[in-house]
Amino acid sequence: MRYSKKSHIRVRLTGDLIVFGIIKYTAVTLVALVCLVPFYMLVVSSFTSEQVIITQGYSFLPRAGSFSAAAYRMVFRNPARILRAYRNSIFITLAGTLSSLLFSSMGAYALFSKKLKYRNKMAFFLYFTTLFNGGLLSYYLTITRYLHLQNTMWVMLLSPMFNVMYILILRNFINASIPQALVDAAKIDGAGDFRIYWQLILPLSKPALASIGLFIALNYWNDWWTPMMFVERSVLHPLQYTLYQILSSVNFAASMVNSVPQINLPKESLKLAMTVVATGPIVLVYPFVQKYFVSGITIGSVKG
């Protein structure tokens, strides 16, 4: 018999536990490989020549003599433009995510507080806005004619900032994970609402904030529709919309030169290369918040 030395609790490893551990880790490894295979093929195919992709299709393994960086040369033909787009996307994602988490958690704590009169009616009013809205025309007129946010960075920061479902999820998380007695004890000690929110609610809500923060960051990072609608200044364009413009220009150029077989623009491989360029940075963020996903799943599973 063997004993685990990873914790202070000595666990007796019997034969069935060892077999179960082997099966468990094998299954998790297979699932991880299945998830990585599409991204691997994406990277391999992005370095494949356009002619090979058209004639032979996509391949799991690189073909001899098929290597081509034409798609990446097309993407980075204007490096200053891409770097500026990266800078805009990183700023918008960081500032927007932090601001959205701050105001969403404030709203969630306000709806959690029993001192707030009509808090349930306010929560229903917020939820009602997810079912019915004024439509695209009223939204466009509000942004352009009344708020005058067009052609500014503010429209890309403020437009995706508030998501009612995230506020309600945070409120339910606080309600289920933070005892009211803990908040009452802080009030007895003389803490005000903002101090309770800042020093008690926020630290105890890290798993929910990290999980929702990742989704908010994805929304900001992948947002190309807002700049397409409201931003005409190229210096403010984020990465996603810049790549969309590059792809549109290549498709348009390809449609104009279809009668000239000598001109071979990388259309298919360009799509793959753009996906790699746009996905890479946000994928690197996930390992830093993964532990909070695990915490969010296990919180409340053990009752004392």
Residue 249 has pLDDT above 80, yes or no: yes
Mapping DSSP to helix (H, G, I), strand (E, B) and coil, where does residue 3 land? strand
The whole-number pLDDT of residue 3 equals 44
The whole-number pLDDT of residue 257 equals 60
Residue 12: how many CB atoms within 10 A of its CB? 9
The whole-number pLDDT of residue 241 equals 92
Q: pLDDT category, 4, cuts 50, 70, 90?
A: very low
Nearest to 250 by CA among 232, 274, 230: 274
Proportion of the chain above pLDDT 90, given as a percent = 31
The whole-number pLDDT of residue 276 equals 87
The whole-number pLDDT of residue 136 equals 86
Distance CA 130, CA 109 (A): 20
Mapping DSSP to helix (H, G, I), strand (E, B) and coil, where does residue 225 land? helix
Eight-class DSSP state of 63? P
User: Residue for token digits 């996906």?
Assistant: 275
Would you give the end-to-end CA distance of the chain in angstroms?
32
Instruction: Break the chain into its structural domains and give their ranges.
Output: 2-68, 78-265
Give the model confidence (pLDDT) of 136-183 as tens digits: 888 999 999 999 999 999 999 999 898 899 999 999 899 888 888 888
Proportion of the chain above pLDDT 70, given as a percent = 87
Give the model confidence (pLDDT) of 72-127 as tens digits: 888 888 889 999 999 999 999 999 999 999 999 999 999 998 888 888 888 888 88
The whole-number pLDDT of residue 105 equals 94
The whole-number pLDDT of residue 103 equals 94
Average pLDDT in the 15-21 region? 82
- Topology (CATH level 3) of domain 78-265: MetI-like fold (1.10.3720)
Mean pLDDT, the chain, integer = 83
Give the model confidence (pLDDT) of 44-78 as tens digits: 888 888 888 878 877 777 777 778 888 888 888 88
* CA separation, residue 204 to residues 131, 151, 177 (Å): 31, 39, 8
Distance CA 184, CA 61 (A): 62
